[in-house]
């Protein structure tokens, strides 16, 4: 099952020729979730051929402009493109008024409904659930209210062995019984047990997104055991003091969170434009964590088992 992250923007603060402001698309089981929506996000969707109307859920971490100033354009374009289905927006409570005032000023009457889901910043909370996945928000340590998001697969059922499926005519009722751990009687009188006919379910994968945050040990518990952890690394250790005063992290600190939370893989982003070579972030983080990836616009990262 698909579980991957496409980077639309991974630069900090103002857009540059090198990086767009923050935005990502999480594809989980072929459902597309937008995470943050910095300026220029629409153009990135066009560039990387991601269809606007496939996105039904947008998650905004906080109200610094580099994380949400693309949202209004995205909402307007979907109206122009004839969207009818509801858009679910998860973000700080003030976001609803910010969007509504702009719609009112331009006398835009959207052809589709928006449902706002205000986020909170005090504890880890379940904010979305469907048949196969759940999404949590969790507080980060930033200059204004800010939360991260975690996408987690639900527990899966055991898989029917290929050779069993090939050898017997399994009815849907046989498959349901086996996947639920029960023995089942086939039409030809043979009884199949789950031990004989199934393989253990795939393990559960999770993706955690820590957008803007100072180094915080609290975060480690929220993202524990992530298959893939995105953690901002605006700075390198040489700017550690600056990271502290601006409530951002260094690459080394991000790696510390990855290591202490026992995450499997670390993805770094939100790079300050002061650095010429993004690989320096990898070098710094790699000194304390093995599996480090560097975000870049258009790159797709798999969330592995």
**CB nearer Zn ion, residue 64 or residue 231:** 64
DSSP 166-214: HHS---HHHHHHHHTT--EE-TTS-EE-HHHHEEPPPPP-EEEEE-S--
Q: Which residue's CB is nearer to Zn ion, number 33 or number 68?
A: 68
Catalytic residue among 30, 36, 66, 202: 66
CB of 143 to Zn ion, least distance (A): 7
- Give me the least distance between CB of 148 and Zn ion, in Å please: 12
Question: Is position 66 annotated as part of the catalytic site?
Answer: yes
Minimum gap (Å) between residue 28 Cβ and Zn ion:
25
Of 88, 81, 8, 10, nearest to 41 (Cα)? 8
Residue 34 or 210: the one with the smaller Cβ distance to Zn ion is 210
Question: What character string, x for contact with Zn ion (CB under 5 A) and - otherwise, covers 194-213?
Answer: ------------------x-
DSSP assignment string, 63-109? -SHHHHTTHHHHHHHHHHTT--S-EEEEE-THHHHHHHHHHHHTT--
Q: Retrieve residue 298's tokens.
A: 């258009």
Distance from C-alpha of 15 to C-alpha of 30, rounded to nearest angstrom: 29
Nearer residue to Zn ion within complex by CB, 139 or 160: 139
Contact between 64 and Zn ion (CB under 5 A)?
yes
Taking CB under 5 A as the criterion, which residues in 202-261 touch Zn ion?
212
Q: Are 26 and 285 in contact (CB under 8 A)?
A: no
Span interacting with Zn ion, options 11-19, 59-67, 82-90, 94-102, rule CB under 5 A: 59-67
DSSP codes of every residue in 17-28: SS-PBSEEEEEE
Q: Please report how close the Cβ of residue 243 comes to Zn ion at its closest, in angstroms.
A: 12
**Residue numbers of the site for Zn ion (CB under 5 A)?**
64, 212
Residues acting as catalytic residues: 66
């Amino acid at each position: 099952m698909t579980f991957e992250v496409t980077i639309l923007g991974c630069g900090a603060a103002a857009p540059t020729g090198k990086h767009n402001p923050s935005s990502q698309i999480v594809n989980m089981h072929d459902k597309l979730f937008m995470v943050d929506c910095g300026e220029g996000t629409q153009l990135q969707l066009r560039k990387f051929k991601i269809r606007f109307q496939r996105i039904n859920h947008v998650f905004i971490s906080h109200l610094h402009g580099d994380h949400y100033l693309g949202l209004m354009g995205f909402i307007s374009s979907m109206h122009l493109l004839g969207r009818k289905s509801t858009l679910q927006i998860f973000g700080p409570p003030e976001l609803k008024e910010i969007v509504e005032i702009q719609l009112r000023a331009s006398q835009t009457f959207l052809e589709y409904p928006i449902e706002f889901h205000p986020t909170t910043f005090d504890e880890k909370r379940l904010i979305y659930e469907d048949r196969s996945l759940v999404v949590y928000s969790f507080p980060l340590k930033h200059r204004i209210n800010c939360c991260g998001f975690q996408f987690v697969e639900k527990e899966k059922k055991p898989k029917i062995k290929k050779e069993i499926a090939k050898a017997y005519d399994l009815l849907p009722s046989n498959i349901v019984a086996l996947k639920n751990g029960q023995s089942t009687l086939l039409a030809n009188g043979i009884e199949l047990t789950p031990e004989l006919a199934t393989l253990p379910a795939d393990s559960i994968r999770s993706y955690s997104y820590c957008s803007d945050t100072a180094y915080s040990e609290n975060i480690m518990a929220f993202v524990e055991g992530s298959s893939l952890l995105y953690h901002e690394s605006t700075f390198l250790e040489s700017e550690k003091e600056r990271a502290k005063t601006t409530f951002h992290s260094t690459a080394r600190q991000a790696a510390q969170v990855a290591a202490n939370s026992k995450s499997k893989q670390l993805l770094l982003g939100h790079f300050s434009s002061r650095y010429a070579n993004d690989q320096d972030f990898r070098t710094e983080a790699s000194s304390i964590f093995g599996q480090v990836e560097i975000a870049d616009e258009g790159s797709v990262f798999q969330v592995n088992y």
